[in-house]
Amino acid sequence: MSFALYMDDAALGHRTPEGHPERAARYAAAKARLDEPDFAGLPRREPPRATRAQLERAHPKAYVNALLSAERPDGMVMLDADTVIGPGSTEAALRAAGSGVAAVDGIVDGGLARAFAVVRPPGHHAEAAKAMGFCVFNNVAVAARHAQAAHGFQRVAILDFDVHHGNGTQAIFWDDDSVLFASSHQMPLYPGTGAVHETGAGNIWNGPLAPGDGGPAFRRVWEKRLLPAVDAFKPDLILVSAGFDAHVRDPLAQIEAEAADFGWLTDRIVELANAHSDGRVVALLEGGYDLRGLSESIAAHVAALTVGL
């Protein structure tokens, strides 16, 4: 069993307005770090485009049709105040969603134990029929539905440590107790969801953090609240919405975690995967808007994902 990175330079083609935090430089910084000697030997796989059928497991057909016809060759289309479709965005979004699908296939019949998909645009804010928060398709939801429909997984856990609450993922799986959603995030902060009392069908576990909380609080909410819920759920597959904007350097939030905190959590996730899901973990990049913080955090995350492989 081994590990693979899923990456495609189509991510660079998703252009956003000048000064937008979700920019092509994020992918370039991640790729540059993973090209350094300590990671350069990791296998890379080029993801396919997600198919309409795969997208429609998480999004209504009308929404998929609208998004796939939104791109204009001569300009940008704003889907909401900060989510944009421009020339090249459709290809990037299809490859981003396809990365999760391919990574799930890879751990089922491609000889992989774990995988990390370096994608943009991110996905966890996208609701079933609404693009928002830089997100077009909900990449992790598409991957989860594929795991269930194509491979028969019965209990899928989605762990989200992006500093912004994954409202879209929560909404998609709100009343589906075959999928557990566990999230740490800053409150108050965009998008305004993620309170402890939001529990869905008993499958939603939120762990809010206060502005100014650092690594100890980040670790505590996972160790005392979220990871025990995942352990009790006994997932047969773990998916991760790996956002690194809880890093102390990030400009969009006020959580003061360090790269080592993401490495610590990834170690714990792997332990749970080893206990319940034959070691299977698929992580997909979400946020992280300071390039140095993003690079350092991805390095810690990937190092932990590859231990023992």
Catalytically annotated residues: 125
Phi and psi (nearest 5°) for 217?
A: -70, -40
With residue 3 as reference, give the H or E element that holds it: strand 2-7
Q: Which two tokens stand for residue 255?
A: 């959580």
In angstroms, the CA 157 to CA 4 distance is 20
Phi-psi map region of 11: left, alpha, beta (phi>0 left; psi -120 to 50 alpha): alpha
The residues pairing with 239 across neighbouring beta strands, listed in sequence order, are 158, 282
Contact 142, 124 (CB under 8 A): no
The residues pairing with 207 across neighbouring beta strands, listed in sequence order, are 184
Closest by CA to 130, choosing from 194, 62, 184, is: 62
Phi and psi (nearest 5°) for 123?
A: -140, -20
